[in-house]
A and B are shown apart, each in its own frame.
Chain A
Amino acid sequence: MHYLIVGNGVGGMEAALGLRRRDGGARITIVADEHDHFYSRPALMYVFAGQTSLRDTEPYDRALYERLRFERVRGRVAALDAAGKSVRLDEGRTIGYDRLLLAVGSTGRPAPWPGAAGPGLHYFVTLRDLEGLDRDARPGRHAVVVGGGLIGVEVAEILRHRGLKVTFVIRENWYFPLALDEREAAMVAEHLGRHGVDVRLGVNVQEVRRGEDGSLRGVRLSPAARAAPPTGAAEVPCDLLVSAIGVVPNTAFLAGSGLALSKGGAIEVDERLRAGGPEVWAAGDCANVTWADGSRRPEQLWYTARDQGRVAAASMLGDPATYIRGAWYNSAKFFDLEYTTAGWVPVRLDWDNTPLDPGPDLREWFQRAPTGFDSQRVVGRGDRVVGFNMVGRRWNHEVLLDWIAARRTLEFVLDHLAEAQFDEELSPRWRRQGPAALT
């Protein structure tokens, strides 16, 4: 049996490990064009910052591929022949397979603004992106970072550390409305401001200005849809433009392969992660899966890509394994502020600044510490706690999810919240300030 895995990220690597664990004799080939070794993509920012080396971000020793007899092919797949069970690399070579896993991940969503393409435009998703940005990010320069999500804030942090001026352009009326409410976002924006980031809310890039030689001169900003009146100059000069407006699946090569793709380009898979073609599976960022709320979208998270890789391996081995999305949780860091979320937290603002209705019988408890950047939001439906959004300190999502699963009441949770604290030892114990203010 020849298993072919396209992609050497966490999904592909977990699948390869799962296959080898069960099938010692199988031939396993991994095709990848980014790096010879599996590394942690979320760690790119630490390599950029010089906090770790690229080697430090490789979780396994480099002898792993030889030890587990993973054949490596360095190259990029240009086309899939699902009927003929083979892929063609862009150098022309063809590789046949018995079973194929597509774990091709995603790349930065192309900057759509007029004049964007050209020197000085950067993304921050792949090693190539990192190398380009590393060359260009020199002290004293001015960078415009577009996109109020996690990659944007990571890039802004390192560029500030490198001594660049940073303007952070965000389309929505507050930072990261997908995860934060207005109060939390205001706190984060204040924190970014203290680190010298010029945060511009409710603005779009209207066009990118370039000189006659094509060099980047600046961007022209315009108010976003339904935005509060923007402040600050509409013309922002810059030497670097970083587009951090999301990612798109790396699936252009699948056009004409017969595999069904979603509108966004993700590979449609069933609950066993089988893609449309015979003996083809997909996992990770590039797979369109069913979420707990029934919607179908790709999950662009580290741990879900890992889990999908494991399920794909079991499924490829013939097990009746299914991918079931568990409760939502995630964590992140905005400069120094730690962020933990668990369960269901209402999104209050759509991408086009339309207010969203959180639905009936919503109860929310919110507290911000009188000093510093530290807030907790506990979300309830009726009496029952359904979600948590915590900024500024560490929380144990396992405990938070326990409470949600056990249908704990808001009152119970608020009485016990300190038990879920996960700060470093000797940190002050979390305290509730006065009675619960429920909204």
Chain B
Amino acid sequence: MQAGLMDTYHRPLRSRKAVAWVLCAALVAFYLLVYYTDVLEGPARRLRLSGKWTLYSVLYTLAMVVGGAFFLRRHGNSPYQRVRTVTVVSVQVVLAFALPLVMKVLGHQEYYFSYFWPLKIEYFYPSVILHQPFLIVLYSFLGSLVAFPLLGYFLGKRFYCSWICGCGGLANTAGDSFRHLSDKSTGAWRFEKVSVYTVLAAAVITTVIVGLNWAVGKDHPAFSAFGFGVQRWYGLVVGGFFSGVLGVGLYPLMGTRVWCRFACPMAAVLGLLQKFGRFRITVKKDMCIACGNCSTYCEMGIDVRAYAMANEDVKRAACVGCGMCAHVCPRGVLKLESRPVRFKGGEPIRVYAVDL
């Protein structure tokens, strides 16, 4: 049994009771204030921070550090969980918090080294990225177009979604107590397949329009207005509402990966690479007792148990490789793997007892 998971269903906050709804409302309200008002500018200045976004960044990083410590207390006995959590929190603290802050203090335009297109869509907007030094431009383009496809193919999308990304990082640290609330229904799976690729298409189209606007907008004022409109709406709807307001706001009701699962364009791209890549969750044959711990604690709503019961390795675009299904399995049935062949030698035995 997992000490940190016992009593999950005995806690009102973790089982969609009234207090969870209150927390959800509070988070939604907070995000609406952050994204769409300047209410937080005042408190930020009083704390001698440069603005509301710096305050938000401080709070976000703090949540990850504290949440990460809690997570390690509960699941630090697993080497995978330990290394993964220390990594994702360190990336947040160094690349997404300290470095941009230092750049800002030094008078540079800030740059978040742990974010890439299409998640950070601006980093392919010529008007944004071309203000950066050449090396950062190179870093951004090589990252999105070369490194990510290769790493996604060889390691699975987990290298980003569970080891680097701040969205996943917050989910797996401060939000981890809510991971079991993800929707496991086939309806949710059908919705996810439509929604996540729709957002990816929107991201690509928006990037193209913004690029064209940068190139030829000056000569076509009508198109230019349209282009800026698209850019603004994508930012408001996808960047603000989906990733922030809903993505974090719904933690206490729908689990931690609402944004990653239903909307993140980066997760969509990496998921496709993963589907045809090497990463899988290997299932030990005929050992599953169908207890359901794996499916319960899958934050992406994957019915891992169905695969384990069918003796089928899990190869799903959605899987972010957090490793919790393997960690919570009381029979050690599951193992995350990205090496090409696990075992060679010997004839496969017919463990299966039935002669039909």
A residues sitting closer than 8 Å to B (CB atoms) are 10, 40, 42-43, 45-46, 49-53, 56-59, 61, 157-158, 161, 302-304, 307, 310-311, 314, 319, 321-327, 329, 331-333, 335-336, 338, 340, 394-399, 401-406, 408, 416, 419-420, 422-428
Contacts and interface: CB of A to CB of B under 8 A. Distances in A.
A57 B296 CA distance: 9
Interface stretch (B42-50, B92-100, B282-290): B282-290
Nearest to A313: B356
Nearest to B6: A49
Interface residues of B, number: 55
Contacts of B295: 56
B347 A331 contact: no
B349 A40 contact: no
A396 B284 contact: yes
Interface string B314-339: 00000000010011001110011100
B83 interface: yes
B354 A401 contact: no
Interface stretch (B7-15, B120-128, B167-175, B194-202): B7-15
A85 B311 CA distance: 37
Contacts of B291: 40, 42-43, 46, 52, 57
A333 B354 contact: no
A329 B354 contact: no
A427 B78 CA distance: 8
Contacts of A40: 289-292
B290 A43 contact: yes
A405 B349 contact: yes
Interface centre among A335, A402, A420 (most CB of B within 10 A): A402
B340 interface: no
Contacts of B180: 56
B135 interface: no
Nearest to B326: A424
Contacts of A321: 354-356
Given A51-B6, A425-B323, A307 B285 contact: no
Contacts of B286: 303
Q: DSSP class of A's interface residues: helix, strand, loop or mixed?
A: mixed
Given A52-B296, A425-B80, A43 B287 contact: no
Nearest to B328: A51
Given A53-B9, A326-B352, A333-B1, 11 more contacts: A40-B289, A46-B330, A50-B11, A51-B2, A310-B354, A310-B356, A319-B356, A325-B353, A396-B284, A397-B351, A425-B323
A400 to B, nearest CB: 10
Nearest to A304: B353
B306 interface: yes
The 6 closest A-B pairs by CB, nearest first: A43-B291, A394-B332, A326-B353, A402-B346, A40-B290, A50-B10
B331 A61 contact: no
Contact of B9 (A52, A329, A404): A52
A23 B335 CA distance: 37
B309 A59 contact: yes
Interface of B: 1-3, 5-11, 77-81, 83, 180, 185-186, 284-287, 289-293, 295-296, 305-306, 309, 323, 326-327, 330-332, 335-337, 343, 345-356
B335 A424 contact: yes
Contacts of B335: 394, 422-425
23 contacts: A40-B291, A40-B292, A43-B293, A46-B1, A46-B292, A50-B10, A52-B8, A59-B290, A59-B309, A158-B1, A321-B356, A323-B354, A326-B351, A340-B332, A397-B284, A397-B287, A402-B345, A402-B347, A419-B345, A420-B343, A422-B335, A424-B327, A425-B336
A337 to B, nearest CB: 11
B337 A425 contact: yes
Given A331-B331, A396-B284, A10 B9 contact: no
B76 to A, nearest CB: 12
Contacts of A336: 1, 77
Nearest to B78: A424
A405 B79 CA distance: 33
Given A52-B292, A303-B286, A427 B306 contact: no
Interface centre among A397, A416, A424 (most CB of B within 10 A): A424
B292 A422 contact: no
A430 to B, nearest CB: 13
Nearest to B82: A426
B14 to A, nearest CB: 9
A253 to B, nearest CB: 27
A43 B331 contact: no
Given A422-B332, A425-B336, A398 B353 contact: no
Interface centre among B78, B185, B335 (most CB of A within 10 A): B335
Contacts of A327: 349, 351
B1 A49 contact: yes
Contacts of A402: 345-349
A54 to B, nearest CB: 9
B289 A311 contact: no
Interface centre among B291, B296, B323, B347 (most CB of A within 10 A): B291
B156 to A, nearest CB: 11
